[in-house]
Amino acid sequence: MFQNIQNEKRVQLTDFLPTTLKEVRQRGWDYLDVILFSGDAYVDHPSFGAAVIGRILEAEGYRVGIVPQPDWHGDFRDFKKLGRPRLFFGIAPGCMDSMVNKYTANRRLRSEDAYSPDGRHDMRPEYPTIVYSQILKQIYPDVPVVLGGIEASLRRLTHYDYWKDTLKPCILKESGGDLIIYGMGELPMIALCQLLEDKVLHHEPDAFVETADFLNIVSKFPVSQTVTMVSENEVPGGITEDDIVLHSHEDCLRNRKHYAENFRHIEEESNRLHAQRILQPLGKNYVVVNPPYPPLTTEQIDHSFDLPYTRLPHPKYRGKRIPAYEMIKFSVNIHRGCFGGCAFCTISAHQGKFIMSRSKESIIREVKAVTKMPDFRGYLSDLGGPSANMYGMQGRNRDICARCKRPSCISPAVCPNLNTDHTQLLDVYRAVDALPGMKKSFIGSGVRYDLLLHKSKDEQANKSAQEYTKELILRHVSGRLKVAPEHTSDRVLHIMRKPSFQLFYEFKRIFEKINKEAGLKQQIIPYFISSHPGCTEEDMAELAALTKEMDFHLEQVQDFTPTPMTVSTETWYSGYHPYTLEAVYSAQTPQQKLRQRMFFFWYKPEERAKIQAELRRMNRPDLIQKLYGGLLERASMPASNPQRKKRKEREDKPYSFNPNFSKNNKRRR
């Protein structure tokens, strides 16, 4: 046994999925059915995808090994150390897209890799799905390779790659992999393993699946929620009237409007209860996207979360900090899916729009496990999900949902069929807070305030939303509540599929009223995005003026980052909105993006001259007056600083443009 430094809980090495041949032998195994290669460090926790897939297969009786962050240099010994599996190799590239994890929107290296020990940057390659697959195919050409995780899931068809600034085909083409499992992989993984056992191995422990047999079987018996690449005459069942045939990859390279047009079908079918099969020509082949499984039932999602996770990093990381684990180790995820449909977000593309909620009993079991951790101090960092307050929500009439193609249930308006009752969620919060050892449960996930302010015909739903709002603010905020209006321009917000900024005004008023009545001094922290499709410099200037008027010095801000398979990315790259095919302006160059971003920081002295010059160019002296006509507060200087008093005295007079300011400022820098 070993003692884990992080929480001093004693567990056995065999409590983890094996990562070495020695650990395989310690379990008494002489073979493995599936070997997973992960781009993340191995943390045996339900928030880490590789652990979930490994545990779900283990529960079905399969022997699973995992190789976390294999060394892709030199002799590839990490790819050989567990030998060949009976069924296939699985690629789990990471909880985040590898390029988003590594680079900022400006293509600069991030300060650390949150999913690697000690935040190291050298533990995974760029595009690990491609790198790992190509290495495995080089060493074991006859062993099937199955791609999964968000990286492959969102690259299952022609997609724009922001970091290479090019259109790329289905990732099966470049990686050499044999099949993609897209979305949340529990059900298709189980189905695939059972299919191979039944049709190829006939449950013989000494038999192995070879690539040719694998491809033959998955073509004859297509597994839902998988992607294959076949020749035209090998398309299962042939091409039928029920199939959606997209513009070919080659056509997309020639015609950006056709590329944009493809995406509407991709998104709609990703969010339907009864989707159609999608086909896309690629060279002499067709990419075949089989429809997804229905959303997990409560029993199914409970099963996934109730598996025997140790909730710890593997002992090989003893003494090393894994930033992502530190962030979530005292948090509990209560549901999957998001029906917000935000244009820039990949959650619905990967998890779908239908909410899959755990039972209160399953949630309580996990919270109890957290409270027993030796370093738990009574504070749950997050009791949430993709959107904190969508738990338990679904359409009242499921038949209406079955016919629906809308990617969002709340944009451009809340669907009248959506049940927005927060009662179930309040019940969960109160049950968690009543547990022994629990001092406070915080809601760290994003809250949809448009759901809280929505006026339904159901008075019980309206009453529960008001009750939830008050309880959230009084009991579940750690001093600062983060919400995401994203912008102030209703035109830009419409493209983002976000509600009018007027709703943020209303929510802020309620937040401040409840705080005042309770004698609290909590803050509301808004998130904003610059350079989103449809956003101009003038929109950002008006955002700066409005947020200054509301007394915000913005902190939670970012440039729009184009990631595969979002409406915003397809609009940004193609220049056309996929649903209307109308032309949409986007800031493309680094200079255009920086000119938008600087308006977030109107209060910084070093940005003042540039912002004023830009506003004069726009012929917006009214915004110069709004931003700089009165006092210019220096947020970076403490109130006790004597320099600040002198600065305030200088700035008590209305600001007038100083023609020497730019020159003087440059000299100071």
Which range (66-70, 566-570, 580-584, 628-632) has the least confidence? Answer: 628-632
How far from the centroid of its chain's Cα atoms is residue 360's Cα? 24
The answer to whether residues 486 and 528 touch, using CB atoms and an 8 Å cutoff, is yes
Reply yes or no on whether the pLDDT at 661 is more than 60. no
Look up the pTM and report it: 0.90
Residues 76 and 214 in one domain: yes
Q: What is the CATH number of the domain that holds 221?
A: 3.40.50.280
Residue 569 located in a structural domain:
no
Residues 172 and 47 in one domain: yes
Q: Torsions phi, psi of 337, nearest 5?
A: 90, 155
Residues 200 and 344 in one domain: no
| Mean pLDDT value across the chain | 91
Residue 215 located in a structural domain:
yes
pLDDT, residue 277, reads 98
Residue 253 located in a structural domain:
no
Determine the average pLDDT of the residues in 593-604.
Answer: 95
Determine the average pLDDT of the residues in 357-363.
Answer: 98
Residue 239 located in a structural domain:
no
Domain boundary among 453, 469, 500: 453
Determine the average pLDDT of the residues in 110-127.
Answer: 95
pLDDT, residue 556, reads 85
Residue-wise pLDDT for 326-350, tens only, equals: 999 999 999 999 999 999 999 888 8
Domain boundary among 453, 475, 509: 453
- Model confidence band, residue 587 (pLDDT cutoffs 50, 70, 90): very high
pLDDT, residue 106, reads 86
Does residue 170 have a known ligand-binding role? no
Show the domain range for 408: 331-453
Residue-wise pLDDT for 201-246, tens only, equals: 999 989 999 999 999 999 999 999 999 999 999 999 999 999 999 9
- Cβ-Cβ contacts under 8 Å for 626 (sequence gap 6 or more): 545, 548, 549
Reply yes or no on whether the pLDDT at 39 is more than 50. yes
Query: Which DSSP string corresponds to 233-292?
Result: GGSTT---TTSEEPPPHHHHHH-HHHHHHHHHHHHHHHT-SSPPPEEEEETTEEEEEPPP
- Model confidence band, residue 414 (pLDDT cutoffs 50, 70, 90): very high
Percent of the chain with pLDDT over 90: 89
Residues 42 and 161 in one domain: yes
Residue 654 located in a structural domain:
no
pLDDT, residue 515, reads 97
Determine the average pLDDT of the residues in 458-466.
Answer: 96
Residue 250 located in a structural domain:
no
Q: What is the CATH number of the domain that holds 388?
A: 3.30.750.210
Does residue 415 have a known ligand-binding role? no
Domain boundary among 453, 468, 495: 453
pLDDT, residue 349, reads 85
Cα–Cα dist 1/14, whole Å: 9
Percent of the chain with pLDDT over 70: 93
pLDDT, residue 122, reads 94
Number of domains in the chain: 2
Determine the average pLDDT of the residues in 368-386.
Answer: 95
The CB density around residue 463, as the number of other CB atoms within 10 Å, is 13
Q: Which two tokens stand for residue 268?
A: 């709609």
Determine the average pLDDT of the residues in 17-26.
Answer: 97
- Model confidence band, residue 439 (pLDDT cutoffs 50, 70, 90): very high
Does residue 193 have a known ligand-binding role? no
Kindly list the strands in the beta sheet with 480-486, ordered across the sheet, starting from the edge strand earlier in the chain: 480-486, 523-530, 557-559
Cα–Cα dist 183/353, whole Å: 12
Angle between helices 186-196 and 298-305 (to 10 degrees): 80
Cα–Cα dist 318/316, whole Å: 6
Residue 564 located in a structural domain:
no
Residue 115 located in a structural domain:
yes
Reply yes or no on whether the pLDDT at 519 is more than 80. yes
Cα–Cα dist 412/499, whole Å: 7
pLDDT, residue 669, reads 29
How far from the centroid of its chain's Cα atoms is residue 335's Cα? 14
Reply yes or no on whether the pLDDT at 3 is more than 60. no
Determine the average pLDDT of the residues in 192-209.
Answer: 95
